[in-house]
């Protein structure tokens, strides 16, 4: 599990670096002052607020990549885990509208990794005597509970009729042009009975996973069934809709739950494979992997009493924050919720809950150049196209930008910052007659109807930006 989580972390940070200036510097969409003016609390801890310069943000990203690599190979695993968790939490707080469910699962797994003995296998840190040992601690039990809570409360919050009575939730989810992928569109055209059966299956599986994970008898078989269910569910998500790293983090989280006999068979397979690969022995001999690293601090597999208290307190707070999502009668005292926010464990798993949206759409951003001609700011095309795209990913190619635009369509506080950023970027690359004088932001909203139909799109004006003065006139809410 550690290797999978570290690989996803490295991949995620690498992709975030592609848009580092736009998303994390003061020259980008959301400068630090905009986040502070919107209301920042003491628990929104972030060292990324120390500077708005792009190269400082790049250095912090590189630090995250270094610690991610250390976690990958299992070198100074505890230190690497703590640093990776802290830097990722700091990154989340720097730009609060870029995150989705997969980011939070990754953060929570890193949090529990600080207490888990996940440097005990397939790691530079691993003491030779540890191979094949069983590791059972309070933290491993808390991790099982954490994963169970994700699926339990994802199910409990799905209270809409499309989940509990009409069984059309999968239909509405796959019809969402903002998330659509080709495989999902193919499934969407299945008969309604098939889509209803899939809805029932998803909800039933989410209720069943925590039961299987915590079953007191035949635990190895039930836990394996839970792991296979989690992997299948997330693989289906990843193939059908655009959710960023969410499906892959879900699959990686399952690896830490596999029964010991399964992992023993995996160990024996790896041993045989390495024995047969002489080319790897040659590589290891010439690179002398591990010899160029500083001495390893021995791994401590036993938690002290302070750590046990911390684990028990954290799992209590996590259960409480999840209970709050299903009813105000479980509301936490303000100071306890702030503590949960401070250490990044406040949770809520309203995944397509209480129901997936039935109103979806796409952006169109017509602009005017100095010579009077038109341009579409989103597609960078001279022809402004109001027609529905086959997939939003065709015009917004990266999931981080897609998530940002989805968040802005509901909470337009940062829309003016986004508009001015587009003005600046266009005019940095164009001048004279091709300079942008201004543009408007429209959202083409349609309602998903039964029988694979949509309502005629409704044009919602979100605002207009004057690129010469930087003034943004806010339009209508969605």
Per-residue pLDDT band at 405 (split at 50, 70, 90) = very high
Kindly list the distances between the CA atom of residue 424 and the CA atoms of 241, 291, 302, 379, in Å, as whole numbers in the listed order.
32, 49, 55, 16
Please give the residue that has the higher pLDDT: either 294 or 213: 213
Q: What pLDDT is recorded for position 91? A: 95
Least confident of 164-168, 216-220, 354-358: 216-220
| Parallel, antiparallel or unpaired: strands 436-449 and 359-364 | antiparallel
pLDDT above 90: residue 390: no
d(CA 94, CA 84): 15
Residue 118: count other Cβ atoms within 10 Å of its Cβ.
Answer: 29
Higher pLDDT, residue 272 or 291: 272
Pairing relation of β-strands 472-474 and 458-466? antiparallel
pLDDT digits (tens, 9 = 90+) for 52-109: 999 999 999 999 999 999 999 999 999 999 999 999 999 999 998 998 889 999 999 9
Q: For 22-48, what is each residue's pLDDT tens digit?
A: 999 999 999 999 988 887 776 678 999
Sign of CA dihedral 331, 169, 397, 380: negative
DSSP 367-391: EEETTS-EEETTTTBSS---SPPS-
Contact 24, 94 (CB under 8 A): yes
Please choose, from the candidates 18, 20, 78, 8, the residue with its C-alpha nearest in 3D space to the C-alpha of residue 301: 78
Average pLDDT of every residue of the chain: 89
Give Cβ neighbours of residue 455 (< 8 Å, ≥ 6 apart).
Answer: 446, 447, 449
Residues 32/5, Cβ–Cβ less than 8 Å:
no
Query: What's the rounded Cα separation, in Å, for the pair 61 and 59?
Result: 5
Q: How far apart are CA 356 and CA 188, in angstroms?
A: 14
- pLDDT at position 301 is 44
Whether 274 shows a pLDDT value over 80: the answer reads: no
| pLDDT tens figures, 139-189 | 889 999 999 999 999 999 999 999 999 999 999 999 999 998 999 999 999
Q: How many whole angstroms separate alpha carbon 144 and alpha carbon 135? A: 13
Question: DSSP letters of 226-259?
Answer: HHHHHHHHHHHHHHHB--TTHHHHHHHHHHTTS-
3-state SS class at 469? coil
Using an 8 Å Cβ cutoff, are 14 and 396 in contact?
no
Among the listed residues 308, 58, 114, 345, the one whose alpha carbon sits nearest the alpha carbon of residue 66: 58
pTM comes to 0.90
């Amino acid at each position: 599990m550690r290797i999978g989580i570290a690989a996803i972390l490295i991949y995620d940070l690498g992709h975030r670096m592609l848009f580092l200036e736009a998303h994390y510097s003061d020259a980008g969409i959301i400068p630090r002052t905009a986040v502070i003016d919107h209301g920042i609390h003491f628990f929104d801890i972030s060292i990324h607020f120390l500077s708005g310069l792009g190269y400082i943000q790049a250095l912090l990203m590189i630090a995250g990549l270094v610690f991610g690599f250390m976690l990958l190979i299992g070198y100074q695993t505890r230190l690497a885990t703590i640093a990776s968790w802290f830097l990722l939490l700091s990154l989340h707080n720097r730009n609060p509208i870029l995150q989705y469910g997969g980011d939070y699962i990754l953060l929570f797994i890193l949090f529990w990794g600080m207490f888990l003995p996940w440097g005990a296998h397939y790691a530079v840190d691993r003491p030779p005597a540890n191979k094949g040992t069983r590791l059972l601690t309070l933290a491993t039990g808390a991790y099982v509970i954490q994963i169970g809570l994700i699926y339990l409360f994802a199910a409990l919050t799905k209270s809409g009729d499309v989940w509990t009575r009409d069984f059309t939730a999968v239909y509405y989810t796959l019809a969402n042009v903002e998330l659509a992928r080709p495989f999902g569109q193919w499934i969407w055209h299945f008969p309604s009975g098939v889509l209803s059966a899939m809805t029932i299956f998803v909800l039933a599986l989410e209720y069943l996973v925590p039961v299987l994970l915590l079953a007191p008898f035949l635990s190895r078989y039930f836990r394996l069934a839970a792991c296979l269910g989690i992997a299948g569910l997330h693989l289906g998500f990843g193939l059908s809709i655009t959710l960023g790293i969410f499906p892959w983090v879900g699959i990686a989280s399952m690896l830490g739950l596999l029964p010991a006999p399964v992992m023993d068979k995996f160990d024996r397979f790896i041993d045989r494979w390495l024995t047969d690969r002489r080319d790897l022995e040659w590589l290891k001999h010439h690179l002398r992997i591990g010899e160029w690293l500083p001495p390893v601090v021995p791994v401590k597999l036993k938690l002290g009493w302070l750590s046990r208290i911390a684990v028990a307190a954290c799992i209590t707070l996590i259960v409480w924050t999840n209970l709050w999502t299903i009813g105000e009668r479980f509301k936490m005292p303000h100071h306890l919720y702030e503590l949960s926010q401070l250490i990044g464990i406040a949770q809520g798993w309203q995944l397509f809950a209480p129901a997936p949206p039935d109103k979806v759409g796409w952006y169109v951003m017509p602009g005017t150049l100095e010579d009077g001609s038109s341009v579409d700011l989103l597609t960078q095309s001279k022809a402004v196209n109001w027609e529905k795209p086959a997939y939003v990913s065709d015009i917004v190619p990266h999931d981080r930008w897609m998530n940002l635009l989805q968040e802005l369509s509901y909470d337009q506080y940062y829309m003016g910052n986004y508009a001015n950023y587009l003005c600046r970027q266009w005019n940095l690359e164009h001048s004279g007659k091709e300079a942008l004088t201004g543009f408007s932001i429209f959202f083409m909203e349609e309602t998903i109807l039964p029988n694979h139909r949509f309502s005629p799109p409704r044009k919602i004006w979100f605002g207009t930006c004057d690129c010469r003065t930087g003034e943004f006139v806010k339009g209508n809410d969605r």
